[in-house]
Amino acid sequence: MKLLKCTLLIISLVFIISCEKQQEVQEEDIFETVSISHRDISITVEAAGVIEPETTVEVKSKASGEILVLNAEIGDKIDEGTLLVQIDKRTPRNSVDQAQADLEAAIARRQIALTQLNRTKSLLDRGVIT
């Protein structure tokens, strides 16, 4: 019994001493003291996430052709009316020229058809054809 009491007393003393050492370690250097002075306080915050714009605008053109000059890149801030792209004018000009040629050919075909119609009416009126 005496041995048991001694053992419990030693264990209790070791426990109390070890707890006091932990409290001393925790209390050291918790606060940093400095003299009073005017300073800026800087706070840095780091975060992870996705940045999304408030408004997304899709820019399209009805014109087609080779891009000669690109005046803006993705993400650039631009003002209204800013020239974004310069397109090679040959492609649309060729399309207009082709459409003009098609129109002139259609006018010529119409004129030929009208001439044939008038000739056929004339022949029909004279009784040459039935």
Q: Give tens-digit pLDDT for 5-30.
A: 777 777 777 777 776 655 555 556 67
Q: Do residues 85 and 69 lie in contact, with contact meaning Cβ atoms separated by under 8 Å?
A: yes
Across 2-6, 46-50, 53-57, 95-99, least confident range? 2-6
Mean pLDDT confidence for 56-84:
85
Asked if the model's pLDDT at residue 121 lies above 90, the reply is yes
Q: Where are the alpha helices (DSSP H) in the chain?
A: 2-27, 90-126
Q: How far apart are CA 67 and CA 61, in angstroms?
A: 12
pLDDT of residue 21: 52
Asked if the model's pLDDT at residue 72 lies above 80, the reply is yes
pLDDT of residue 95: 87
Q: How far apart are CA 10 and CA 110, in angstroms?
A: 123
Rounded to the nearest integer, the mean pLDDT of the chain is 84
Mean pLDDT confidence for 52-81:
85
pLDDT of residue 26: 54
Asked if the model's pLDDT at residue 48 lies above 80, the reply is yes
Q: Do residues 65 and 90 lie in contact, with contact meaning Cβ atoms separated by under 8 Å?
A: yes
Structure tokens, 30: 């918790």
Mean pLDDT confidence for 54-63:
82
Give me the percent of the chain exceeding a pLDDT of 90. Answer: 26
Asked if the model's pLDDT at residue 63 lies above 90, the reply is no
Q: Do residues 92 and 63 lie in contact, with contact meaning Cβ atoms separated by under 8 Å?
A: yes
Specify the amino acid at residue 89: K
